[in-house]
Chains A and B, each alone.
Chain A
Amino acid sequence: MSDAPAMRSVLRDGLWDNNVVLGQMLGMCPAMAVTSSATNGLGMGLATMVVLVMSNALIASLRNWVSPEVRIPVFIVLIAGMVTLVDMCLNAWFHDLYKVLGIFIALIVVNCAVLGRAEAFASRQPVLASAVDGLASGLGFTLAITLLGAVREIAGSGTLFASAHLLLGPDFAFLETRVMPQGAGALFMILPPGGFLVLGLMIAGRRRVQQWLDRGAPAAVAPQAAH
């Protein structure tokens, strides 16, 4: 068993160096499909983060019993089973939350980032490190798609965090802001082309920042993760 990597580097990896959306470009389907508003992005991100932490921990705890030949089907069975269980429990006991998050939960199964973390990290690392990796990756995913949703929502609908109270409760109604007058937005930003456009700009922006950071330390140029 390899040594557990330092928590700091795990966090940095998930949030920036190997950000699921902007670095690894995994999970594009849910990232594009739901980010027509910042609230949707946040909801999807948080739900995915919870699943990532749980699936990473579960898979790490079983890693010594699963034979390599069948590891991918085993991961898929575990992830799909767990997501289904979460879906049923939310529907039964947290029904108001489910009405908001329900459409996202089933989509998590098809998020290859979850399987990606299971294969790349949790299948070789101890439980705690894997849970932290799930948290970091999930947080990076959440931040990226919330930002994506915020940009598209501002440009497309002229609002920010519209109907956040449905997701976070009435205490967070203050987040709901109107940036532009009703009807002033560019509709295509909410439609699929806007998603591709903003995502492309965000990926380019991340690389630009990375280049700028690397410029400070020219000798140690980018042992950066492959894209």
Chain B
Amino acid sequence: MSGRRLPDAVWYPMLSLGVVALVTTAILAFGQAATRGPIAQAQADDTRQLLEQILPAGYADNNLLTDTLQMTGPDGAPLTVHRARKGGALRAVLFEMSGNGYGGRLTLLMAVAVDGDVVGVRVTHHNETPGLGDKVDAAKSDWVLSFNGRSLGKPEPARWAVKKDGGDFDQFAGATITPRAVVATVKRGLAFFAAHRDDMMATAARAGQNGSGGQHE
């Protein structure tokens, strides 16, 4: 900037900013076009890995990413339901639920077997306090595995709560709100499954062949 003498004309600053903005925008547009495909692919891989790790090994043999159906979730938002089958028979459905934790919205992915038992739960997104509430994350603690094999009747509805509230689930030292939110969200998810079980099963039988390529958010 200090070297060459630039034109004094009033249009020069406008031109130089305009050209820089134009060129940058063009480069970004090309960049986005070039990366869109690989990014979508990578995100689909992420989703598949997430869906597969929640199920026990060998639980399903279908493509969980494409075997989906769209429903209206309990909060009125569209909900993508993934289905796990073995040998063509439906074994479980997987869907996301969200609740309110200590640090805001938390999202969990749950797999529910056709008989209503929890196959697995993973917290996929949260803003909980590091070192306290983030023990709901499977990478930090095994706590979230304590849902495996539970259902709306196991334990009875009144005991679907943390121990401090007279329930069956552990809270963490110094953090009750987060596990309370997760327990309540899982319970809501099971209730949602119970209420819409027939829909999920009925559509599941029909939509088996034409699984839409819906992608989970």
Contacts and interface: CB of A to CB of B under 8 A. Distances in A.
A62 B131 CA distance: 46
B13 A70 contact: yes
Interface in A55-82: 62-71, 73-74, 77-78, 81
Interface stretch (A23-31, A88-96, A199-207): A88-96
Contact of A85 (B27, B37, B46): B27
B39 interface: yes
A77 B42 contact: no
Size band of the interface chain A makes with B: 35 or more
A88 B24 contact: no
Interface stretch (A9-17, A46-54, A184-192): A184-192
7 contacts: A36-B130, A66-B1, A67-B12, A67-B13, A69-B13, A70-B14, A183-B173
A70 B31 CA distance: 25
A156 B134 CA distance: 14
Interface of B: 1-4, 6, 12-14, 16-17, 20-21, 24-25, 27-28, 31-32, 34-35, 37-39, 42, 45-46, 129-132, 173-174
A146 interface: no
Contacts of B130: 36, 157, 190
Contacts of A71: 1
A17 to B, nearest CB: 23
B131 A67 contact: no
A183 B131 CA distance: 8
B212 to A, nearest CB: 25
Contacts of A68: 1
A172 B142 CA distance: 24
A185 B42 contact: no
A36 B128 CA distance: 13
A156 B131 contact: yes
Contact of B174 (A66, A85, A156, A187): A187
